[in-house]
Amino acid sequence: MKPLLLRGMLAVFLGVLIGISISLAPPLLADKNGGEDTLPWEQARVFAEVMQRIKQGYVDPVDDQALIEAAIRGMVADLDPHSAFLDDEEYREVRISTAGKYSGIGVEVGVEGDRIVVVAPLDGGPAQRAGIRAGDAIFSVDGLAVGPGDLADTVARLRGPSGTPVRLGIRRPGQSDPLSLELVRGQVEMHSVVAELKPAATGDAYPYVRISLFNEGTGRELRAALSRLRPAGGAAFPGLVLDLRNNPGGVLEAAGEVADIFLDSGLIVSADGRMSDARFSIEATPGDVLGGAPIAVLVNHGSASASEIVAGALQDHGRATIVGESTYGKGSVQTIMPLSDGRALKLTTSHYYTPSGKSIHDRGVRPDLIVPDALSGEADLQLDRALQALQGPHIAPRPGLALARPRAE
């Protein structure tokens, strides 16, 4: 390799690293003698050499920027399964899911075979008001054909400023002729809480709350749902089923708020990391909205992260009976760090611990009552067992957990 070319490629690489260091932390100091905080010159030289060999010998031409971005993605992805480099579109999706609101038509879509299909229209959104149904296949947006390979692009086209029109081509099951529907985009809220009353075998009805993910509005939604379900005359709740099955997590603060709703005091979660703001704890405040009524929390292997924080806190405090299967086991916290050009770094910055000081990483929360995640006909066996648990003796609160603190591992 020509020395001048090598130096040029190395300069590109160093520029990328320096740009990242400026965005995230105090600048890295390059030193040929090495050290914990210095740039590894020998590895940088190998990087430049590999990049040049790819540019010279790969069967198809490759853009410099694409190669460097791929290298960054690989570098971050190799840290752990939860860290990631986000492009502008991915970062925008993270912000939307965190805030729980966006401007668009209010529809959840997915790929089914060779079609883009409506999974569900969101309650109160433009799509629901226009009569779009679950199962409808979207084949065009504003006259442009869309297919399963264009899912991200289709989602982007469906979103846009409030008040702007968008025309959809729809094929509806059971109808031979396609539909053409014009909608007007509006503000859409992604609701994370669904609540209803579930009858038990005894004839009593128990509040049932399903939380599908944790976003900034989850705590507020939960309080509103419990207010709607409160027995007439302000009578006490007989108990509650909290369904966290297949909940992938979300905003950690929202998990703390949900757990706080059912606790009077004590530690909810604590976290330990290398940076000062990665070391923190969340404490419960006075006021258990259920007044001590029993809680059964449903979990399975799809319950992860923030949902595990809630289940772990309520279990450690003896506030709830955990029913189902062991959870996923994600005991780490990710921080979203904005970068240049609308991109971001999702980086694992902390390990978190339940109130008793346990790490659930790669272990999960083990239920008090293990029930396989399976349906029997129309029956939900886990839900049935949770309702039964509410009618029997529940776990007594465990004192002293407010003093538990994590230890570094």
The catalytic residues are 305, 316, 330
**Do 368 and 323 contact (CB within 8 A), yes or no?**
yes
**Backbone φ and ψ of 302, nearest 5°:** -85, 0
d(CA 155, CA 92): 12
**Backbone φ and ψ of 366, nearest 5°:** -90, 125
Q: Which residues pair with 283 in a beta bridge?
A: 267
d(CA 99, CA 160): 16
**Do 297 and 240 contact (CB within 8 A), yes or no?**
no
Helix or strand or coil: residue 341? Answer: helix
Q: Is 408 exposed, middle or buried (0-12, 13-18, 19+ CB in 10 A)?
A: exposed
d(CA 286, CA 293): 15
Based on its alpha-carbon atoms, the radius of gyration of the chain, rounded to whole angstroms, reads: 25
Count of CB atoms situated within 10 Å of the CB of 177 = 7
Tokens 């846009």 sit on residue: 160
**Do 105 and 158 contact (CB within 8 A), yes or no?**
yes
HSE at residue 164, side-chain half, CA atoms within 13 A, is 10
Residues 6+ apart with CB under 8 A from 59: none
